[in-house]
Amino acid sequence: MTDPAREATAAPPGPAIELRGVSRDFRRRRTSLSTPPPVVHAVRDVSLSVARGERFGIVGESGSGKSTLLRLVCGLDRPTSGELYVEGRPVHDQPHRRLRWLRSTLQLVFQDPMGSLDPRMRVRDIVAEPLVAQGRRAGNRERVVDLLERVGLSADAADRYPHQFSGGQRQRISVARALAPDPDILVADEPVSALDVSVRAQVLNLIDEVVEGFDLTLVLVSHDLSVVRHVCDRVAVMQRGELVEVAPVEQLFTAPEHPYTRSLLAAVPDLQTALSGRTARDLAAGVRGQAPA
């Protein structure tokens, strides 16, 4: 079921997200007066586009640059060089005060729901927070209750506090908050990695359902290829700040081209094993599963 408010607005032509030669460098602290400070190339010359309505995954090990790339896409950081567009509008060269439109167009679901939800606020105020930031106050109660029900929570959850919910329920609240301003793009940063084993599949299924129901573009960042395969249509693989491969998800699993991608796939458990919480360290120690059939 598509949100009626979204149907009334025609999307501009072109991709939902486009990066052209984007790089992000960080200078480390100087260790010697005689040498310049070393530079860390967190993201190197990344070019890609995400089509409207696409479910796009970004995967890579820790330190691969995927989190830095995510911050750039969300307007939380600015690239050292290159161009970045969201819904055809430039993000790369705009000060934060001129990116208020981006907060309505793109919403982020964070990795740790407990850390991203203010423990002093009731759920009704948390979910309505993006609406209040837009100056929208009328009808917020009804909107909050509707969103809570859409993510599988009851109306009385609106009057409770985050600590009164389980981790999976808190992530559902995070999803409801992200949906509040009617975004076009949902960005999910490792949305199940901080959750208990028993609820990881449920949250992935919820994301799948809201992307379909609200006609969203999805960007999902994960270290786990099997989780991305469960939700995404196309996947980008990052290594040491560089984009080494982009392919449709099934093609990536059946005919990977880059050696790094093949090494990642060699360590991929099936979805059940991935959702059980086994880590890269477990895999390196010999816990191996077969790629999903």
Question: What pLDDT, on the 0 to 100 scale, is given for residue 278?
Answer: 53
Strand runs (DSSP E) across 30-117, as ranges? 39-50, 55-59, 81-86, 89-90, 106-109
CA-nearest of 215, 186, 171 to 56 is: 186
If one counts the domains in the chain, the total is: 1
Instruction: Categorize the per-residue pLDDT at 271 as very low, low, confident or very high, splitting at 50, 70 and 90.
Output: low
8 in a structural domain: no
> What domain range is 240 assigned to?
17-28+38-289
Q: What are phi and psi of 228, to 5 degrees?
A: -60, -40
Distance separating alpha carbons of residues 200 and 181, to the nearest angstrom = 25
State residue 270's pLDDT score: 58
What distances in angstroms separate CA 36 from CA 31, 66, 239, 261, one per listed residue?
8, 27, 26, 34
This prediction has a pTM of 0.83
The mean pLDDT value for 203-219 works out to 96
Mean pLDDT of 282-286: 43
Is 6 inside any structural domain?
no
Whether 64 is in a domain gets the answer yes
The pLDDT score that the predictor gives to residue 115 is: 85
Query: Could you give the CA distance from residue 208 to residue 184 in angstroms, rounded to a whole number?
Result: 15
The pLDDT of residue 7: 46
pLDDT in tens, 90-135: 999 888 888 889 988 999 998 888 888 999 999 999 999 999 888 8
Q: How far apart are CA 197 and CA 69, in angstroms?
A: 27
CATH (domain of 241): 3.40.50.300
Give the per-residue pLDDT at 290. Answer: 34
Which residue stretches of the chain are H helix?
A: 4-7, 66-73, 100-105, 113-116, 123-133, 140-150, 167-179, 197-213, 225-231, 249-254, 259-266, 271-275, 280-284
Q: Residue 286: what pLDDT?
A: 39
pLDDT averaged over the chain? 86
5 domain residue, yes or no: no
| Cβ pair 243, 47 in contact under 8 A | yes
Q: Which of 26-30, 60-64, 73-77, 139-143 has the lowest mean pLDDT?
A: 26-30
Mean pLDDT of 157-163: 95
Calculate mean pLDDT across residues 145-158.
96
Mean local confidence (pLDDT), 78-90:
96
- Distance between CA atoms of residues 190 and 20, nearest Å: 24
